Amino acid sequence: MDRGQPGRIAPMRRSSLNRRWAAIRMPARSSPSRRMAIRRKTFDWSTLLISVCMIAAAVVVYLRDGADRFAAVFFNDVHIFLDILPKMAAGCLIGVFSTLLIPRELVARLVGAESGFSGLAIATFAGIIMPGGPVTVYPVAGAFLAVGADIGAALAFVTSWTLLGYARVLVWELPFFGTDFVLWRMAVALVFPMLVGLLGRFIARAVMAREEKP
C-alpha cells in the first residue's frame, strides 16, 4: 500500500467485515419448537394444577372417610407410583437415546417447521405404527421436539397414536367390534391428527409472533 495515500480496506476484506458485523447484530432465528423447548420449566402451571387437585382430593377423603381410609388410599397410590416408576424411567431413557440416534437434519427435513403437510402425514404414520403405551409414546414425542420436530408434528404423532394405534386396533377393537366397525372408525379418524397438527402450528406461530412484538 502506498504511504502517500490514505489507507483503504480491500473489497474482499470489507465484505468479510460486513458479514461479521451483520452476524453480530442479527442473531440467528430459532424455530418456534426450539424456542418453546428452551422455555420449558420443571414446575409449571400444569404441575401446579395437578398438585392443587391432589391436595384437595386428599383433604376431602380425610375429612369424609377418616384417617384409616386416607392411609389405605395413600399407600395404594404409593404402590402404583412405585410400580409405574421403572416404566417411566425406561420411557424417558428411550426418549433420550432417540435424540442421540436420530439425525437432527433428517428430523428437521421430514417433520420440522418447514416440512408442510407431508411432515404431518409422516408424523401421523409414525403414530399409527408406534408400539407401547403412554410411558413410551410421550418421551419419544418429547425427543422429536428436542431434535428438530415442530409442535404440529408432535401433536399429530400423539393424536395418531391415540386414535389410530395398531396395538389398540388388534388387541381390543377387532375382537369386540369386527372389521367393518374398525375400518369405518379409522377412515373417519384419519383426518383428525393432521387437523390437530395444523391447528397446533397455527397457534404456536401466533403465540411466537405476539411474543416477538416490542
pLDDT at 95: 74
Which residues fall within 8 angstroms of residue 37, CB to CB, at 6 or more apart?
145, 146
Residue 111's CB is within 10 A of a number of other CB atoms, namely: 28
CA distances from 59 to 53, 63, 80 (A): 10, 6, 20
| pTM exceeds 0.85, yes or no | no
pLDDT at 45: 79
pLDDT at 46: 79
User: Contact at 8 Å (CB) between 127 and 164?
Assistant: yes
CA distances from 157 to 48, 136, 139, 162 (A): 26, 13, 12, 9
Centroid of chain to Cα 209: 20
Alpha-carbon distance 17 to 24, whole Å? 11
Collapsing DSSP to helix, strand or coil, 41 comes out as: coil
Alpha-carbon distance 149 to 146, whole Å? 7
pLDDT at 43: 67
**First-to-last C-alpha distance (Å) of the chain:** 47
pLDDT at 214: 61
Which residues fall within 8 angstroms of residue 156, CB to CB, at 6 or more apart?
120, 123, 124, 127, 193, 194, 196, 197, 200
pLDDT at 125: 93
Q: What is the pLDDT along the chain (214 residues), one digit of tens a residue?
A: 444 444 444 444 444 444 444 443 333 444 444 444 445 566 677 788 988 999 999 999 999 999 999 999 999 989 988 988 888 788 778 777 777 777 888 888 888 888 888 999 999 998 998 887 888 888 888 888 888 888 999 999 999 999 998 888 888 888 888 889 889 988 899 999 999 999 998 998 888 888 776 6
User: Contact at 8 Å (CB) between 158 and 195?
Assistant: no
Q: What are phi and psi of 148, to 5 degrees?
A: 125, -5
